[in-house]
Structure 1
Amino acid sequence: MIYREYKPSPQLAVYVECYWSAKAEQPPFNEQESLIPDGTIELMFNFGDHYSQVIDDREKLIKGSHVIGIRKQSLFISQTSKQNFFSIRFKPGGFFPFFKIPVYKFANGFYQISELFNRELNTLEYQLYEAANNRKRVEIIEQFLLNKLSQQPEDFAFVQTCAKRLVTDSSCTVEHLADQFSSNYKTIERKFLDVIGLTPSKLRTVKRFNQAVHAMYSGNYNSLAEIAYASGYYDQSHFIRQFKKLASATPRQFLEQQLTIVKVIQPALAKRLSNSYNFS
């Protein structure tokens, strides 16, 4: 598999983590792979073969170009044929300013662009398909996004500020933020669900889970207990219990699976975690 990432322009870097492409003539993954919850949303333009979501050992075909919604737990896929993707990976909250759709409405699933958008994305899809190379595709995508970004929504800026506090300061609570911004818990939670698709507490849970995944794959720790404490869990049993809720596997089982997608996204995940989870 040939996988490449492309940086967004400075004007879009607050919203977009990267653009990426993946191409493979042969099945590039294990028979079943996991898309872990990481706070991001992907707008996927699929120019290759279809693939499937696996639910309770049954496969549901994912046709054409689509959005992979915000994930509160792992989604499982199977791809046994050719792959040719070009995708936008939005930072947490970065999808909302362009499309103004409450993000919680398309969580934990795959949604065809025809289900969410009008014909403008069909036109964009055609332009990307006809583009000479991926650099040209980046130019087309950037122009499309800049045209849609008339102004930064007030709720986006508010949620970004609150989210950065929550993920960098473990002592900060939603009650503290409510007092600081003369708001209340329900209002802040609603804005988080609209913009990011996760409640404040779930956002912290997902970030901690990603820290653990990165630590597990880094090889820098000698035991699960060390990983648990380094990632902010109370103890090893808390770590295992919470990890299984999100990954549908214990940490040991997860490592044994040696998931190709998790390996591929490790550099992006490391950068995300080192940059305060991408909240600017």
Structure 2
Amino acid sequence: MASLESILSFNFRDLETLKYADGSSRTVAPFHILGTQTLPGVGCASFSGSILAFGIFLRPLALWQLFHIPSRVHANIDVAGEELVGKTTDHLWQKLAESKSFSQRIEIAERFLLPLAKAACVRTDIMRSANQLYRSKGATRIEELAHLSGLSIRQYQRRFTDDLGMTPKIFARITRFQRALDAKRLGSGRSWLSIAHELGYFDQMHMIRDFQSLAGSAPTTTIEQSGDLQPWSAIAPLGVER
């Protein structure tokens, strides 16, 4: 489903296969990167044999700040990790594969990522405005963000798309969609109607249409099927705080 986060995914045993709607398929690399997604997927993943995997969910913009990979490059892709970050992660994959526990893998991942975080790229002004849009749950008007950035609406939209790989409108829609998922997880007894009102949808049907567009299914089906493949987005700021 659509997601502002990206995932570093490590497979240590038998590999998964991605099957696409056109009938084609491919085997996923042992280390692959799932970039930001603006649409629901066009295929599905299948598994067989012995499966052992470890995933690192990165906040929006983190791939750019940590690895200098522009957001527009990794939008809507699922690609072998070395194609984006080179061979630098081979040693990381090996150490993760040799680990005996989940907690050990977390320690190894943190030791790898912390030096990158300390040297992270400073966010651009456009990225800082995206953070404002994110914190407002997608509710800030684009005209206001453009004005605060000292740009015309057209200039702002163009630079936003260059920096983040999607238009500010799509970014706001995905932000609100993810916050709706979070709200239901935090309060399973809440009605979708109350969540729709809280997040500024015109009505519940407006939210349902957004879910169909961004997740490919209705809200209840989406929350049942998402599992741990959709990270929590509530509260988390964008990227690295720099």
TM-score range, shorter chain: 0.7 to 0.9
**Structure with greater strand share of residues:** 1
Aligned partner of 2:237: which letter?
A: N
Q: Is the 8 A contact 1:41 1:90 kept in 2?
A: yes
Q: Is 2:41 the partner of 1:72?
A: no
Where structure 2 has 5 or more consecutive residues not aligned to the other structure, the ranges are: none
For 1:62, the equivalent position in structure 2 comes to 28
* Residue pair 1:128, 1:137 contacting (<8 A) in 2 also: yes
Verify: 1:263 aligned to 2:227, yes or no: yes
1:111 is displaced (CA, Å) by 0.4
TM-score norm. by structure 2 comes to 0.80
Structure 1: give runs of 5+ residues left out of the alignment: 1-35
1:64-108 per-position Cα deviation (integer Å, ceiling 9, x unaligned): 210011111223322344321222211111111121121222222
Distance 1:80 1:230 in 2: 42
Match of 1:5 in 2: none
Q: How many residues align?
A: 234
Cα separation, partners in 2 of 1:43 and 1:264, compared to 1, 3 Å: closer
Distance 2:149 2:20 in 1: 42
Query: Aligned partner of 2:228: which letter?
Result: V
CA distance in 2, matches of 1:57, 1:229: 38
- Corresponding position of 2:129: 162
Q: Which moved more, 1:145-154 or 1:92-101?
A: 145-154
Which residue, out of 173, 183, 187, partners 2:141? 173
Q: Structure 1 235/102 Cα, relative in aligned 2: closer, same or farther at 3 Å?
A: same
Given the alignment of the two structures, is residue 42 of structure 1 paired with residue 24 of structure 2, yes or no? Answer: no
- Residue identity matched to 2:58: F
In 1, Cα distance between equivalents of 2:116 and 2:179: 33
Contact 1:39 1:196 in 2 (8 A): no
What is the 5 A alignment of 1:266-277? Answer: 269=232, 272-273=233-234, 275=235, 277=236
- Quote how far apart the aligned CAs of 1:202 are: 1.4
The 8 Å contact of residues 101 and 194 in structure 1, kept in 2 or not, is answered as: no
Code of the residue aligned with 2:27 in structure 1: it is L
Secondary structure, in 3 states, of the residue corresponding to 1:111?
strand
Contact 1:46 1:64 in 2 (8 A): yes
- Structure 2: which amino acid aligns with 1:38? S
| Divergent runs of 4+, >6 A | none
Cα–Cα, structure 1 residues 125 and 229, in superposed 2: closer, same or farther, change >3 Å?
Answer: same
- Encode CA deviations 1:102-157: one digit per residue, 9 max, x unaligned: 12222223100232232212232223223454444334333333444564434x25
Question: CA separation in 2, counterparts of 1:153 and 1:188?
Answer: 21
Checking the alignment, whether the CA contact within 8 Å between 1:166 and 1:172 is kept in structure 2 is: yes
Cα distance in 2 for partners of 1:116, 1:164 equals: 24
Q: Offset of 1:44 from its aligned partner?
A: 1.1
Specify the alignment match of 2:167 in structure 1.
199
| Root mean square deviation, CA, Å | 2.9
| Identity percentage of aligned residues | 25
For residues 1-280 of structure 1, the aligned pairs below 5 Å read 36-56=1-21, 58=23, 59-75=25-41, 76-149=44-117, 151-154=119-122, 156=123, 158-169=125-136, 172-186=140-154, 188-193=156-161, 195-216=163-184, 218-222=187-191, 224-254=192-222, 258-259=224-225, 262-264=226-228, 269=232, 272-273=233-234, 275=235, 277-279=236-238
Q: What amino acid maps onto 2:94 in structure 1?
A: Y
TM-score of the superposition, structure 1-length normalised? 0.70
Shift of 1:163: 2.1
Tell me the distance in 2 between the aligned counterparts of 1:254 and 1:140.
32
